[in-house]
Chains A and B, each alone.
Chain A
Amino acid sequence: MALATRPEPRTDKPAGRRTDTRTPRTALGRLWRSTIGKKTVMAVSGLFLLGYLVVHMAGNLKVFFGPAEMNDYAHWLRTIGEPVVHQEWFLWIMRVALLVAVVAHAVAAYQLSRLDIAARPVKYVHQRRRASYATRTMRWGGVIVALFVVWHILDLTTGTVNPNGEHGRPYENIVATFSTWYGNVIYIVAMLAVGLHIRHGFYGAAQTLGAGSASRDRALKATADGLALVLTLGFLSVPIGVMTGIVE
């Protein structure tokens, strides 16, 4: 690159340059320090959470087969791995893994967002609408989903804020939640946010892990759209089922 007006080489540190220049010794340390490494952590944790959501959504559909089958299924979840592992241990291992994934995902997202915002200190005067809605809402969409998860656990896991809140009777608790207007509103908004998050997140994860190529681009985008659509519709079918009286 030739410069007509070539500036003198800077001797001072430009404002944007990072100051933590210590090189970590381990591969994991090096990975976590780089932007690509943090994105990799986000991609792996995100794909793990996506896999969990697929299973969770499929399990939710049990609600359409009546209270007995739903509650039996919910009870079975506590017995997975028996007799090798003690009752509910699998459930707790899963919960810890999910928590680790969510924390890693959120911490990496927060740190990367800080770097990204710092990398553009002066905004353009002439603003154009950039990228798709799903892409632009990743950060706040993620926050909405995180807040929803807190409510969701208090509602259907601990039963603290559930209108019914009866342990061992998830079917009745689900119906109770979706019989309230706010339960439906919170859930539907959150599921739309989840769908948008997956739409860009799956595609981004594939790129970050190096699966993207010019010939695979369309297939990856179609898979991301398909996953987002199936998951959102699958999750939304439960409140819609309760609202329309199919589930009662």
Chain B
Amino acid sequence: MNLTLRIWRQSGPDAKGAMTTYEVSDISPDMSFLEMLDTLNEELILRGEVPVAFDHDCREGICGACGMVINGQAHGPERTTTCQLHMRHFSDGDVIDIEPWRAAAFPVVKDLVVDRTSFDRVIGSGGYITVATGSAPDAHATPVPKAAADTAFEHAECIGCGACVAACPNGSAMLFTSAKVVHLNSLPQGAPERETRVLDMVETMDAEGFGGCTNTGECATVCPKGIPLASIATMNREYLRAIRKGA
């Protein structure tokens, strides 16, 4: 199929960007969205133009590197990562708008690549547990209730792609932060830092320039890993509990 792409091109962090139109032809419906962009880039290189920069790594939907807003939707029309989005969800002759994640905390590096190290700083401020060094403990040394293990696993699925921030009208990182807070606060291993974790991670999240939550639910709608919206309420509960305990 033949497509018209309108892609955000920006040569550097401080350069002025603009939407640029490209035509691509003979796109197979079995191609992934990234393979379609690879096809475009091959053509651009042959023509001596600068290829479109975009983040990608595993291309199997588990790393969270690839991220772009396709026709106003983070990761495009399907609830998955961009690498797992296939061209069969588009029709011949479509005009597709491709933009980078837009948030103050995610400055554009080049074209569709944004700097997501603000997420790393949020994780660094509390996304860890304290363990004794030395030999590995016995596997059953700390019993974990099944329900807690399930909750923790559901939230550990977050791959930090940033789609929640990109989709939120306030550029808020509440879903991302809540995924990590709920993941570790559900487990006995995370109990020692239960209060400081939520307080510190929320403080870093605010300091990084992410907006606040207005409960629009856009984040959970686009999350490729299905982190539930209710996690935000759980984090709020943990936060207020920590404030009450004066941690």
Q: Interface residues, chain A, CB within 8 Å of chain B?
A: 1-5, 7, 9-10, 14-18, 21, 23, 27, 30-31, 33-40, 112, 115-128, 130-131, 135, 138, 200, 203-204, 206-214, 217
- Bound-state CA distance A210–B215 (Å) is 12
Q: Does B33 contact A (CB under 8 A)?
A: no
Interface residues of B (CB under 8 A from A): 6, 8, 19, 53, 55-58, 63-65, 69, 71-73, 97, 99, 102-105, 107, 109-110, 113, 115-120, 159-161, 169-172, 199, 202-203, 205-218, 228-230, 232-240, 243-244, 246
Closest to B215 in A: A204
For A209, list chain B residues within 8 Å (CB).
Answer: 236-237, 240
- Tell me the bound Cα distance from A217 to B172 in angstroms: 21
For B240, the chain A residues whose CB sits under 8 A away are 36, 40, 209-210
Partner of B55, one of A5, A118, A127, A131: A5
The answer on a CB contact under 8 Å between A116 and B115 is: no
Closest residue of chain B to A38, judged by CB? B212
Q: Which residues of A contact B73 (CB under 8 A)?
A: 128
A123 to B105, CA, bound (A): 14
Complex A-B: 19 CB contacts under 8 Å: A1-B119, A2-B57, A2-B64, A7-B109, A9-B117, A14-B107, A14-B115, A30-B243, A34-B202, A34-B239, A35-B206, A118-B209, A120-B171, A124-B99, A130-B218, A206-B233, A208-B233, A210-B233, A213-B230
- CB-CB under 8 A from B232, the residues of chain A are 207, 212
- The residue of chain B having its C-beta at the shortest distance from the C-beta of A118 within the complex is B104
CB distance from B238 to the nearest CB of A (A): 8
Expressed in whole angstroms, the minimum distance between the Cβ of A223 and any Cβ of chain B is 14
Output the nearest chain B residue to A125 by Cβ-Cβ distance: B19
Does A200 contact B215, Cβ atoms closer than 8 Å? Answer: yes
* Contacts known (A119-B211, A124-B102); A213 close to B169, Cβ less than 8 A: no
CB-CB nearest 6 A-B residue pairs:
A16-B104, A210-B237, A16-B209, A212-B233, A119-B211, A119-B171
Contact of B214 among A4, A34, A138 (CB under 8 A): A138
- Chain A residue nearest to B98 (CB atoms) is A126
Separation of A126 and B55 alpha carbons in the complex (Å): 20
CA distance A56 to B234 in the complex (A): 33
Q: Which residues of A contact B71 (CB under 8 A)?
A: 126, 128
Q: How far apart are the CA atoms of A200 and B215 in the complex, in Å?
A: 8
Report B58 CB to chain A, min CB distance, Å. Answer: 7
Contact B69 A116 (CB under 8 A): no
Pick from B69, B169, B212, B239: contact of A126, CB below 8 A.
B69
Task: Verify B103–A120 contact, CB threshold 8 A.
Answer: yes
Contact A1 B64 (CB under 8 A): yes
The docked-state distance in angstroms from the alpha carbon of A8 to that of B20 is 27
Contact assessment for A119 and B170 in the assembled complex, using a CB-CB cutoff below 8 Å: yes
Q: How far is the CA of A128 from the CA of B167 in the complex (A)?
A: 10
CA distance A37 to B243 in the complex (A): 9
- Complexed CA–CA distance, A36 and B230 (Å): 15
- CB pair A2–B115 under 8 Å, yes or no, is no
Q: How far is the CA of A124 from the CA of B209 in the complex (A)?
A: 18
Q: How far is the CA of A217 from the CA of B199 in the complex (A)?
A: 25
- Contacts A5-B113, A131-B218, A213-B233 given; does A115 touch B57 at CB 8 Å: no
A122: contacting residue among B102, B202, B229, CB under 8 A:
B102
Closest CB of chain B to A124's CB: distance in Å? 6
